[in-house]
């Protein structure tokens, strides 16, 4: 399916096409370019995409956006970054899809993926989403630019770590439906407190289209603050949660034999019972937000329930696998290695608590927590004890306060980095263990997960 022609690209960006060409996708990382893609050669602080034009075309690029001369088929523009923004806006302007924006301190990528699956179950092949965690000033316009015409829905994740960022992103996305999954301490080094984080997340509502729907976590202490942020921009505000006052709520939720949850939810005046494949109360909350969005978009709630039952874990965000050990023995690994903040740490430790076997927690430091970092790390001691963790492997300098809080209470080892953690775990892992691996992405615990997958 053609996404852009050279004529369309030139019209959207104000550039000049060197020759006619058609593209089926868009990428700004040359390593991700596939046959028929448009490669956007951008100049960054560390590198210049123009240096990778030959590689991009060797991998099958059909054309490029450039700001420097090249012999490859291209559209020449003044600035490639601005051109990507323009291309994203043009994709949004031509689309008749229901556009859904997702943000939150925790759960936004998981909710985005679950919402995509729920809508795609009913509108197969006609739902678009942002991939990976492309949720910033380059990732959002890229995700929009990749959206083909003729979609029924588009789901876009938006992130931030400073005030004002979401306001800019949401005005590009212009969602018909905007979701805030949850508010929690994250990037607190850049905010005065959770109220300021809530205000920054509430910026997503500023881009709502006329008649738009705001979806807000009812059980959050910041619910009313989010509602106030939404009121000037939303025609309707829908709350989700466990409390009876929520518009979309869990009437009943219990652990399923498969390890997930069996949920009965009320969506307005309707009730829906479904099995949620992913375990934990945080995933039930995500599912309620998804149902609220599916309903607002005019999707099929029954199909959404089936999709939630089939949903697999995301790499780095809850994926599970059996790690091979010596002599044919195995251990369960819960891969939460992509990111961490105090709320998500507590939620995933609560999931670990229900697993059989010895509980092992490989926990990397939580970053960007500012002056309260020591307190946030030390406070993890209680959820670790509640999860009946028998061996904790703490990774990173910022974990020192947690080590002091665990002294004499839990067997733990504190190491400097992921490489050292990998070596310790290789010696300490035992058959039948349930291992949670979680930390901020910069700690690099994905290396530990990769080693466990390979049994090395």
Residue ranges at the known binding site: 104-110
The helix/strand count (H/E) of the chain reads as: 16, 22
- Token pair 């370019």 is found at 33
Residues that constitute the known binding site for ATP: 104-110
Token readout for 169 is 């992103």
Give the whole-angstrom CA distance, residue 319 versus residue 348: 12
Do 203 and 167 touch, CB atoms closer than 8 A? yes
Q: How far is CA 128 from the centre of its chain?
A: 15
Do 135 and 108 touch, CB atoms closer than 8 A? yes
Give the distance between the most distant pair of CA atoms in the chain: 71
Helix (H, G, I), strand (E, B) or coil at 274: strand
Q: How far is CA 132 from CA 129, 166, 345, 367, in A?
A: 10, 18, 21, 20
Dihedral sign computed on CA atoms, order 170, 171, 173, 178: positive
- Other beta carbons within 10 angstroms of residue 271's beta carbon come to 11
In terms of Cα–Cα distance, which of 366, 419, 421, 356 is closest to 390? 356
Give the whole-angstrom CA distance, residue 201 versus residue 197: 6
Give the whole-angstrom CA distance, residue 207 versus residue 409: 49
DSSP state of 31: G
Which H or E element spans position 101?
strand 98-103
Give the whole-angstrom CA distance, residue 156 versus residue 14: 25
Partners of 169 in the β-ladder = none
The DSSP result for 314-346, as a single string, is: BTTBBEEEEEE-GGG-EEEEEEETT---HHHHH
Give the whole-angstrom CA distance, residue 276 versus residue 253: 10
């Amino acid at each position: 399916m053609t996404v852009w022609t050279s004529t369309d690209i030139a019209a959207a960006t104000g550039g000049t096409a060197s020759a006619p060409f058609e593209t089926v996708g868009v990428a700004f990382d040359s390593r991700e370019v596939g046959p028929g893609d448009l490669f956007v050669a951008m100049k960054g602080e560390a590198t210049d995409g123009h240096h990778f034009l030959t590689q991009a075309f060797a991998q099958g690029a059909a054309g490029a956006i450039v700001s420097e001369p090249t012999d490859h088929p291209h559209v020449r523009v003044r600035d490639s970054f601005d051109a990507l923004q323009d291309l994203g806006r043009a994709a949004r302007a031509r689309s008749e899809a229901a556009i859904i924006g997702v943000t939150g301190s925790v759960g936004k990528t998981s909710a985005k993926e679950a919402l995509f699956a729920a809508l795609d179950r009913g509108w197969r092949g006609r739902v678009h989403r942002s991939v990976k965690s492309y949720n910033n000033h380059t990732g959002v316009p890229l995700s929009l630019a990749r959206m083909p015409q003729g979609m029924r829905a588009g789901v876009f994740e938006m992130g931030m770590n400073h005030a004002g960022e979401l306001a800019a992103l949401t005005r590009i996305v212009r969602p018909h439906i905007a979701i805030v999954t949850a508010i929690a301490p994250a990037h607190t080094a850049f905010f005065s407190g959770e109220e300021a984080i809530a205000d920054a997340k509430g910026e997503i509502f500023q881009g709502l289209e006329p008649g738009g729907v705001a979806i807000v976590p009812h059980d959050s202490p910041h619910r009313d603050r989010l509602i106030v942020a939404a009121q000037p921009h939303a025609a309707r505000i829908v709350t989700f949660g466990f409390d009876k006052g929520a518009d979309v709520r869990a009437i009943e939720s219990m652990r399923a034999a498969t390890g997930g949850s069996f949920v009965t939810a009320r969506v307005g005046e309707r009730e829906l019972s479904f099995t949620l494949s992913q375990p934990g109360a945080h995933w039930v909350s995500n599912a309620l937000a998804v149902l609220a969005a599916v309903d607002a978009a005019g999707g099929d709630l029954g199909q959404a329930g089936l999709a939630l039952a089939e949903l697999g874990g995301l790499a780095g965000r809850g994926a599970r696998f059996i790690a091979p050990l010596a002599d044919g023995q195995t251990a369960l690994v819960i891969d939460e290695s992509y990111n961490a903040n105090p709320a998500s740490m507590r939620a995933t430790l609560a999931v670990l608590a229900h697993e059989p076997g010895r509980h092992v927690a490989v926990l990397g430091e939580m970053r960007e927590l500012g002056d309260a970092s020591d307190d946030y790390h030390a406070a993890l001691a209680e959820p670790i004890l509640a999860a009946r963790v028998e061996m904790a492997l703490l990774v990173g300098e910022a974990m020192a306060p947690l080590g002091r809080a665990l002294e004499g209470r839990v067997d733990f080892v504190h190491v400097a980095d992921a490489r050292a953690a990998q070596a310790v775990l290789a010696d300490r892992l035992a058959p039948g263990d349930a291992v949670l691996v979680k930390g901020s992405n910069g700690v690099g615990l994905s290396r530990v997960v990769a080693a466990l997958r390979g049994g090395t």
